[in-house]
């Protein structure tokens, strides 16, 4: 009789647990049964041309296809790839947090984008300024602007002639 009782209890437990909306281990760990898709975006104007990049499921970009992310590697490398080319910037810090990050040309030539050719923080009047306004759940958001010098046929062009303004990034995933 007791063996039959334990068999019935075990069967009912298995049956009821299979009806749950999330698994028992997920429930015990506090992991939600709902998988949310986080959209990451970046937009900016470069010499009057609007550039927008959007990734619908930023936390699950395909292997080898990373359109918009910030990778921890000798600092934090914010990168985006879109129709106008690539945008790359390294935050020179070992602990990225909410705050301002300003990069003058005195720190040496820094490649930023290949919009209509490579563009650098190079001349004394060049700079890139980033404000990380939010760092939450492994994602960063903020804004940026800058002045860059183009490189044309291996030679730096007109100083500070490339203007980046109205830059913003939202929900960009941090990858470790």
Residues 35-59: tens digit of each pLDDT:
689 999 999 999 999 999 999 999 9
User: Residue 101 belongs to what domain range?
Assistant: 36-175
- Which of these, 27, 21, 52, 39, lies nearest to 115 by C-alpha position? 52
Q: Are residues 8 and 55 in the same domain?
A: no
Of residues 13 and 107, more confidence is placed in: 107
Q: Are residues 43 and 125 in the same domain?
A: yes
pLDDT at 62: 77
Q: Are residues 148 and 105 in the same domain?
A: yes
Q: Are residues 49 and 18 in the same domain?
A: no
Of residues 85 and 14, more confidence is placed in: 85
What CA–CA distance (Å, rounded) separates 62 from 82? 15
The rounded Cα 6 to chain-centroid distance in angstroms is 52
What CA–CA distance (Å, rounded) separates 104 from 20? 56
Number of structural domains (the chain) is 2
Which whole-number Å values give the CA distances from 133 to 33, 54, 74, 101, 149, in the listed order? 29, 19, 22, 11, 27
Whole-prediction pTM: 0.77
Query: Which residues make Cβ contacts (< 8 Å) with residue 153, sequence separation at least 6?
Result: none
Q: Strands 162-175 and 110-113: what pairing? A: unpaired
């Amino acid at each position: 009789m007791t063996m039959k009782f334990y068999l019935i209890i075990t069967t009912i437990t298995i049956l009821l647990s299979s009806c749950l909306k999330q698994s028992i281990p997920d429930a015990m760990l506090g992991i939600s049964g709902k998988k949310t898709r986080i959209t990451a975006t970046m937009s900016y104007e470069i010499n009057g041309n609007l550039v927008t990049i959007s990734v619908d499921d930023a936390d699950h970009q395909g292997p080898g296809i990373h359109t918009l992310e910030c990778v921890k590697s000798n600092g934090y490398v914010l990168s985006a790839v879109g129709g106008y080319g690539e945008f790359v910037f390294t935050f020179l810090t070992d602990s990225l947090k909410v705050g301002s990050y300003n990069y003058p040309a005195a720190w040496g030539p820094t490649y930023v984008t290949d919009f209509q050719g490579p563009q650098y923080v190079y001349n004394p009047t060049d700079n890139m300024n980033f404000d990380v306004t939010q760092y939450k759940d492994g994602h960063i958001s903020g804004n940026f602007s800058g002045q860059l010098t183009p490189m044309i046929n291996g030679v730096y062009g007109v100083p500070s002639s490339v203007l980046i303004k109205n830059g913003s990034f939202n929900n960009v995933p941090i990858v470790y």
